[in-house]
Structure 1
Amino acid sequence: MTNLCGVDVSKAWLDVWIETAGHRRFANSAGGVAELGTYCRAHDVELVVMEASGGIERAAFLGLWQAGQPCALANARSVRQFAQAMGYLEKTDRIDAMMIARFAQAKRMVATPPPSADQQQLTALATRLRQVTGDLGVQKQRLHSAREPAMRDSLRQAIAFFTAQADDLAARIAALIGQDPLWEALDRSFRQIKGVADRTIAYLLAELPEIGTLSNRAVTKLVGLAPLAHDSGQHRGRRSIRGGRAGLRSILFLVADIARRFDQSLTDFRQRLLAKGLSKMEVRIALARKLLVRLNAKARDTRAALTTNP
């Protein structure tokens, strides 16, 4: 039985649970993380598990790894569902830490190595590019409906600012990709699919670093494009998708619709699905899934080629 430490992370605190020691609280700061590392070593903790909490867990996660303490990230919704299944309907920081530890034990979780410095930088740049692109879209919508000259001038200035930022971020991402042999090779491989361009590749490499290392089934499930069964007894429910990496999935929806205009096989695939009576949303999902499978296959071949001919 692995000696685990569950950590519930908030902006101010790290609430900790070890079965043999109970609950303890540390500050969510560099000093607090160092104290937590010492505490874990004193209790022979083999693995620290915390929830992925929108980024506030990142400093503690990386800090513990740097101190030599293996860590893993758990899905917050899965932990909450586990807690409810165990009869814990109430929610406190102490209970959350305890449930994270027990969930990790039941699931037999293993360490999740931290991303490299370059991967962290790429993810940060891609995240910021997505934010700036969203801001740019909002400003353009406002300009479309604005009538007052002063307001339109202000919006044009904002659009120019966000456009410059987006261009700068895209250039920095391209330079970063060009410095890594694997990323550069994946970039060339992905571009063989017409419709897949700079930003799609940036988001793929930033948000799906596992691409090419997983089976097609596993990668589509990871992104949230795998049809999930809803069967019971003789009943066969309608398949649906849920979970996964929603931001990347939304991009694949758009890119798949563009790619099928250049690829007759995708167009024919779409027409066959429509002829079978599938809804437009079901067809969109199927197209995005097929595109992801093709990208995964190209990434797998690229990785194999680099391994064979480094």
Structure 2
Amino acid sequence: MASFLGIDVSSNSLDALVRPQGIKIRVNNDPAGFDALCKELRGFSIKRVLLEATGGYERDVMHFLQDAGFKVIRVNPKRARAFADSMAIKAKTDAIDAAVLAHYAEVIPDQPTLRISPDRALLRELLQQRDRLIQQRDDDRRRLKQAQSAVVANFLKTNLQHFRSQIKLVEQAIKQQTTALNDERVAQLVQVKGIGLVTAGKLVALLPELGRVESREIASLVGVAPFNHDSGKSVGKRSISGGRFEVRRSLYMACLVAVKHNPALKARYEGLRERGKLAKVAIVACMRVFIVQLNAMLRTGTPWRDVVLPQREVTQIKKVA
């Protein structure tokens, strides 16, 4: 009998439930607990394991189970909560959440899972640290403009000097780690105007599916795919939703540059603006085309200038423009 495992992850413990047998398992969130969990699962034919993204607390057990041969899917907590709401489950405890996740594991469609190597995990962490430093720098820049005393202004200026030096150091580490990955996709991406080494590193670290999936899926993963809101004769406004915010933010900045240097993207942007579209709406539309083209470039292994989208993808883009 195929079984499904749901795991509710906290900083110190793991609450798991095997469905449909209803076996409850509680272990520590540490290597000894992972071993104990695997021992408890002996004798079950686990088809899928599902857990939530919990700020990194789930990473070690996810990697351990993947190495042990289990198919592990990590989902956004909002999706798990929406599933619980659809089942009219309002109560929330660790045991209830594990049961909900096990049920979700049973019905969720199969999807490919990519194993994150230690080198790629380190690059991701460095990129996240850079984002945090930039956020702190920008926050203190705003505070400096509002500072009313010289004493506070001096503290803020000292902070800004520290943040600038730290950003340079972490960017050097990012470049070294990106080079250490030896990922040929990075070399291809940096040839595209608008994409530097940091942006290329972010794309391969935070969007490992790039170049390995179809155009619709890559646009949806980034969060630039427009969704329909139609019912009967009513045709609603298309809008984007979800996706990976960090990737989308980097792609937005890259696309601002690409629109200036890429004739096709520039023509598309200007055409949308002439039709009355807002600047940000036009940029998002260009972002969708941009990521689809990058995906096609990496999937086919051709240089940027030689990328030719399949006719079905061209037609799809025109329909949703």
Does TM-score exceed 0.5, indicating one fold?
A: yes
Q: Spell out, residue by residue over 1:41-72, the C-alpha distance to the aligned partner (whole angstroms, 9 max, x if none).
A: 24343432211222111122123334444422
Task: Report if the CA contact (8 A) 1:253-1:287 is conserved.
Answer: no
| C-alpha displacement of 1:254 | 2.4
* Aligned-residue RMSD, C-alpha: 2.3
Relative to 1, partners in 2 of residues 1:191 and 1:44: Cα closer, same or farther, differing over 3 Å?
closer
Q: Which letter does structure 2 place at the counterpart of 1:297?
A: A
Q: Which amino acid aligns with 1:270?
A: Y
Which residue does 1:226 correspond to in 2?
Answer: 225
1:290 equivalent in alignment to 2:289: yes
Q: Which amino acid aligns with 1:43?
A: F
Quick check: 1:47–1:111 contact (8 Å CA) kept in 2?
Answer: no
Change (3 A) 1:215 1:266: same
Contact kept in structure 2, 1:71 and 1:111, CA below 8 Å: no
User: 1: CA distance between counterparts of 2:91 and 2:78?
Assistant: 15
Question: What CA distance in whole angstroms lies between the structure 2 residues aligned with 1:113 and 1:205?
Answer: 12
Deviation, 1:238, is: 1.4
Letter in 1 for 2:121: Q
Compared CA separation, residues 176 and 16, structure 1 to 2 (3 A): same
Q: Is 1:4–1:105's contact at 8 Å kept on the other side of the alignment? A: yes
Give 1:245's aligned residue: 244
Q: 1:185-200 maps to which residues of 2 (within 5 A)?
A: 185-200=184-199
In the TM superposition, residue 160 of structure 1 has moved relative to its aligned partner by: 1.9
Distance 1:215 1:66, change over 3 A: closer
- The worse-fitting range, judged by mean Cα deviation, of 66-75 and 273-282 is 66-75
1:60-71 mapped onto 2 (5 Å cutoff): 60-71=61-72
1:5 is the counterpart of 2:5: yes
Question: What is the CA–CA distance in structure 1 between the aligned matches of 2:121 and 2:234, rounded to whole Å?
Answer: 45
Matched, 1:166 2:167: yes
What's the secondary structure of 2:2's corresponding residue? coil
8 Å CA contact 1:48–1:72 kept in 2: the answer is yes
TM-score computed with the length of structure 1 as normaliser: 0.88
Kindly indicate whether the alpha-carbon contact (under 8 Å) linking 1:50 and 1:73 is maintained by their aligned counterparts in 2: yes
Structure 1 segments unaligned to the other structure (5+ residues)? 305-310
Q: Report the more deviating stretch, 77-86 or 93-102.
A: 77-86
2:36 corresponds in structure 1 to 35
Residue ranges of structure 2 left out of the alignment (5+ in a row): 304-321
Cα deviation, residue 126, structure 1: 0.9
Shift in Å at residue 179 of structure 1?
2.5
CA shift at 1:110, angstroms? Answer: 5.4
Matches of 2:302 and 2:42, distance apart in 1: 37
- For residues 142-163 of structure 1, the C-alpha deviation after alignment (integer angstroms, 9 at most, x for no partner) is 2333353333332222122212
Superposition deviation, residue 198 in structure 1: 2.7
Q: TM-score, normalised by structure 2?
A: 0.86
Distance in 2 (CA, whole Å) between partners of 1:204 and 1:31 is 34
8 Å Cα contact 1:13/1:26 also seen in 2: yes
Residue 16 of structure 1 is matched in structure 2 by: 16
Q: 1:93 to 1:303 in 2, by over 3 A?
A: farther
Task: Specify the alignment match of 2:258 in structure 1.
Answer: 259
Q: Distance in 2 between matches of 1:115 and 1:303?
A: 25
Structure 1 window deviating more from structure 2 (193-202 vs 144-153): it is 144-153
Higher mean C-alpha deviation, range 71-80 or range 116-125: 71-80
Alpha carbons 1:200, 1:251 under 8 Å: kept: yes
Q: How many residues align?
A: 303
Residue of structure 2 equivalent to 1:308:
none
Which deviates more, 278-287 or 295-304?
A: 295-304
Question: In the alignment, is the contact (CA less than 8 A) between 2:48 and 2:105 conserved in 1?
Answer: no
Q: What is the deviation of 1:190?
A: 1.9
- In structure 2, the CA distance between the partners of 1:15 and 1:243, relative to structure 1 (3 Å rule), is same
Q: SS state of the match for residue 3, structure 1?
A: strand
Identity in percent:
29
Structure 1 residues 281 and 111, CA gap change in structure 2 (3 angstroms) = closer
Deviates more, 1:50-59 or 1:39-48: 39-48
